[in-house]
Structure 1
Amino acid sequence: MTQEVVDDMNTENAGSKQRMVAEEVLKHENPEIVAEVYNFRDLAHATENFNPDLLVGKGGFGRVYKGHLEGKDQDVAVKQLDMIGVQGNSEFLAEVLTLSRVRHPNLVNLIGYCANGHQRLLVYEYMTNGSLEEHIFDLDDNKTPFDWHTRMMLAKGVAKGLEYLHNDADPPIIYRDLKSSNILLDDDMNPKLSDFGLAKFGPKEGEDHISTRVMGTYGHSSPEYAMTGELTTKSDVYSFGVVFLELISGRKVIDHRRPSEEKNLITWAQPLFKDQSKHPMVADPLLNGDYPIKCLHQAIAIAAMCLQEEPNTRPYMSDVVVALDYLAMVQDDHKPNGD
C-alpha cells in the first residue's frame, strides 16, 4: 500500500479526522498483506451506482452490494458503511486493521477499501452461498437442509477461524460478534467469518481481559461481557457455543414465535444437556434422526462446555477444534434407536 490514500483524502479537502483514519491504516498495515485502495468512482461503477437490485445485505453499520471489478473480472462484495461521526470511523478502522493483519481459509478476504472524503467502503471476496443463517433457519421448500456431517464440517471451519484469531494473530483478536449471519459460505460451502467491525485486539501482556462498551447481538454475547463489558477470548467461545447449538438444533437463539419456555434456546436446552436420553429432542427435526447418536451426545457436550457461565471453565478454541475434527470425520449410520 502507498501514500495514495492519504493524498486522495487531502485532494477531497477532507477534515483532520478523515486524514487521521487513512494515516492510521498506513501505520498499522501488515506489509505481507496488501489491501488495494479504491476511489469512490470505481466502486460506484462496480455496483451500478449502488443499485438497490444488487443489495445483498444490510446491517447495523451499513449496506452490502454485489459488485463487479471489470479490471480484474471479479465479483466482489462492497460494504458501504453508514458514517455516523467517530463511531463510523471506528468500525471502518477496526475492520481494515483487523483484516489487513490476517489471512486464513475461514476468514473472509479483504480485497481493498475506499476512504475518500466522508465515504468509507470495504471490498471483500464475494461469497456465492450467502450466510449460514439463510441455510439453517426458516428454509424455503427449494432448500435442502444440511445433513449432520455438513453441520459438523461447518462448525469445525468456524472454530478454526476463531482459533486462528485467538492463537495465531499477533496480537490476539477477539471477534466479539459471532452469529450465523456473520458466517458466510463460499462456492464449496466452506464457512468464513465476516464483519470485523466490532473486533478487538486482545489483552496486553499481564492483563486477563479488556473492558469495552457492550455491543454485539443479544443472545450471542457471553454473560460476563453483557453484564460488565469485560471481554476475553472466552467470550468468543461462548458465542461459538450459541452458534453450534443453533446448528445442531436448527433453532434461533432467540425466537419469539415459539412458546414462552422455548423462546430462549439456551435456557430451553440447558436442562436437556445432562440427560442423554433427551438429546434427540435438541437435534433439528429436519435431520429426521439421521445422525450418529454418540456424535450427537459429544456435540451437545461440546456446546454445553462452551456455554458455561464462568469463562474460566469454558474450553479454548484449540480444544474445540480437536473435538470437532473427530466429529467431522465420523461417518456412522447409528441412529438414536440403534445399537
Structure 2
Amino acid sequence: MIASSLHSPNVVPLVGFCIDSEEGLFLVYKYVSGGSLERHLHGRKKGGKGSSTLPWSVRYKVAIGIAEAIAYLHNGTERCVVHRDIKPSNILLSSKKTPKLCDFGLATWTSAPSVPFLCKTVKGTFGYLAPEYFQHGKVSDKTDVYAFGVVLLELITGRKPIETKRSPGEENLVLWAKPYLQKGKGAIEELLDPQLKCNLRYSNQIGRMIEAAAVCVTTEESRRPGIREIIAILKGEEEPVFSKRRKSSFLGNGCVIDCYSQLQQSNSEMKSHLALAMLGVSEFEDDDYLYVC
C-alpha cells in the first residue's frame, strides 16, 4: 500500500487500518483539524453566508507546502509516486494552516519521474486532468504538475476549475486564464481573487505564482517542467521562465475545440462537464482512448 510508505510533513500520515466483516476495509489517518482547502476557498458557512476569505499569506504557504509534498512523492521516495488526484478537497489544513496532501486511492508507482506509462482507465476529477492523461491515458509525474497548476490558479483567482454557470468563455478556468498568464506579473489585476486585499509587499509572490501556474498547465507534457523547477519559481530562486519558446509552448498550438457541438444531444451534467473539461485541448481522440470513471 502506497500510503503506508509515505513519511513527509506535508502528507497526512496513515495511522493504521481495520477490517469489518460487513463494511470491509477502513484506513485510519491522523486527524487534521483545519478542514480542506476546498472548504476554505469555495465552501459556504451555515445560513448561506460565504466562508471567510483565505488570506494571501496562507494561499502562498499552501502552494509551497503542496509543491514540496509533490516533490517528495516524485523524488523523495524509493519509487516515484504519482498521486493522480491533486485538488483542493484532497488538501487538508492544520490548525496552523500547514497544508497536507491526502487521499492516495488513485496513487500509483512509476519506474522514474518523467517516464510515462499508459493507463486504459482514466480516473480523476474533471478540470484537473492533464491533456495527455485525459486523451490517451498517459501517466507520469507531469500529470500531477498539471493538476497542481490548476490548484495554483484556484489559489490565485478564487475560482473553481469548472463552473457551468459562468459566462461563455469563462466556464473553464485554465482556458479563461491562459491569455492573462502570458503576461506574468502584469496580469495580477485581472487574475487575482477580488475578495483579496493585497498590498504591494505580496506582488512578487503573486507574480511568481502566476508564472508557476502558467508553466504547470502547459498543454504539451514534454514542455511542462518538473515539480522541483516549479518550487524554484515559487520561491523566487529562478529567473522568470517566459522566454519566447516557453510562451508559445504553454499556450499550446492555439487550436481550441468546441465540444458542445459533439455533445449537444445530451444535456446531462456529465456531458456538460466533459465538454468544459475538453475545451482548450488540441485534439479530440476516438472514444477508444477515453475511459472516465
CA contact (8 A) 1:139 1:145 kept: no
Give the secondary-structure state (helix, strand or coil) at the position aligned to 2:169: helix
SS of the equivalent of 1:303 reads: helix
Shift of 1:290: 3.3
Cα RMSD for the two superposed structures: 2.0
For residues 211-235 of structure 1, give each alpha carbon's deviation from its aligned partner in whole angstroms, at most 9, with x where no partner exists: 1120000110100000000100011
Structure 2 equivalent of residue 253 of structure 1: 161
Please say if 1:286 is aligned against 2:191: no
**How far apart are the structure 2 equivalents of 1:105 and 1:135?**
21
Distance apart, 1:326 and its partner CA? 4.1
Q: Relative CO higher for 1 or 2, CA cutoff 8 Å, sep ≥ 6?
A: 2
Tell me the SS of whatever aligns to 2:73.
Answer: helix
Unaligned 5+ segments in structure 2 are: 238-293
Judging changes above 3 Å, is the alpha-carbon distance between structure 1 residues 230 and 135 closer, same or farther for their aligned structure 2 residues? same
Aligned 8 A contact 2:84 2:144 in 1 = yes
Letter of the 2:11 counterpart: L
The change in CA–CA distance for 1:116 and 1:301 in structure 2 (over 3 A counts) is same
Map Cα deviations across residues 268-305 of structure 1 (whole Å, 9 max, x no partner): 00011123544311100011343533332221111000
Distance 1:303 1:204, change over 3 A: closer
Q: Residue 31 of structure 2 aligns with which residue?
A: 126
* 2:209 is the alignment partner of 1:299: yes
- Assess, with a 3 A threshold, how the Cα gap between structure 1 residues 281 and 115 changes in structure 2: closer, same or farther: same
1:236-286 per-residue CA deviation (whole Å, 9 max, x = no partner) reads 000000001100100000011211211110110001112354431110001
Q: Residue 139 and residue 216 in structure 1: after superposition, are their counterparts in 2 closer, same or farther (change >3 A)?
A: same
Q: Is the 8 A contact 2:17 2:26 kept in 1?
A: yes
Letter in 2 for 1:218: F
Whether 1:325 aligns to 2:235 is yes
Which SS does the other structure have where 1:201 is aligned? strand
The counterpart of 1:315, out of the listed 214, 225, 229, is: 225
AA aligned to 1:209 is P
Candidates 214, 222, 237, aligned match of 2:130: 222
The aligned runs of 1:144-155 (5 Å cut-off) are 144-155=52-63
The residue aligned with 2:278 is none
**Cα distance in 1 between the residues matched to 2:179 and 2:75:** 33
Percent identical pairs in the alignment equals 36
Give the aligned partner of residue 244 of structure 1: 152
Alignment check: 8 A CA contact 1:273 1:279 kept: no
Contact 2:16 2:28 in 1 (8 A): yes
Please report how far the alpha carbon of residue 101 of structure 1 lies from its aligned counterpart in structure 2 after TM superposition: 1.0
Distance 2:213 2:102 in 1: 22
Show structure 1 runs of 5+ residues with no match. Answer: 1-96, 328-339
1:209 corresponds, among 116, 127, 136, to 116
Q: Letter of the 1:284 partner, please give it.
A: D
Note if contact 1:222-1:239 (Cα within 8 Å) is conserved in structure 2. Answer: yes
- Residues 88 and 151 in structure 2, CA contact (< 8 A), matched pair in contact too: yes
Deviations 1:171-209 (A, max 9, x none): 11000000000101112111111110000001369x921
Task: Determine the C-alpha separation between the residues in 1 that align with 2:93 and 2:198.
Answer: 25
Distance, in Å, in 2 between the alignment partners of 1:266 and 1:116 is 43
Deviation at 1:104, TM superposition (A): 0.3
User: What is the distance in 1 between the residues matched to 2:81 and 2:111?
Assistant: 9
Q: How does 1:141-220 map to 2 (within 5 A)?
A: 141=49, 143-203=51-111, 208-212=115-119, 213-220=121-128
2:3 aligned partner: 99
Offset of residue 145 of structure 1? 1.2
Contact 1:280/1:289 (8 A) holds in 2? no
Structure 1 residues 51-70: aligned runs within 5 Å: none
Contact 2:211 2:233 in 1 (8 A): no
Q: Quote how far apart the aligned CAs of 1:126 are.
A: 1.1
Corresponding letter in the other structure for 1:194: C
User: TM-score w.r.t. structure 2 length?
Assistant: 0.74
1:40-67 deviation per Cα after TM superposition (whole angstroms, max 9, x unaligned):
xxxxxxxxxxxxxxxxxxxxxxxxxxxx
Q: TM-score, normalised by structure 1?
A: 0.64
**Cα contact 2:182–2:214 (8 A) shared by 1:** no
- Give the superposition deviation at 1:127: 1.3
Conservation of the 8 A alpha-carbon contact between 2:205 and 2:234: no
**2:263 equivalent in structure 1:** none
- Asked whether the equivalents of residues 112 and 122 of structure 1 are also in contact (C-alpha less than 8 Å), the reply is yes
Verify the 8 A CA contact 1:148 1:290 in the aligned structure 2: no
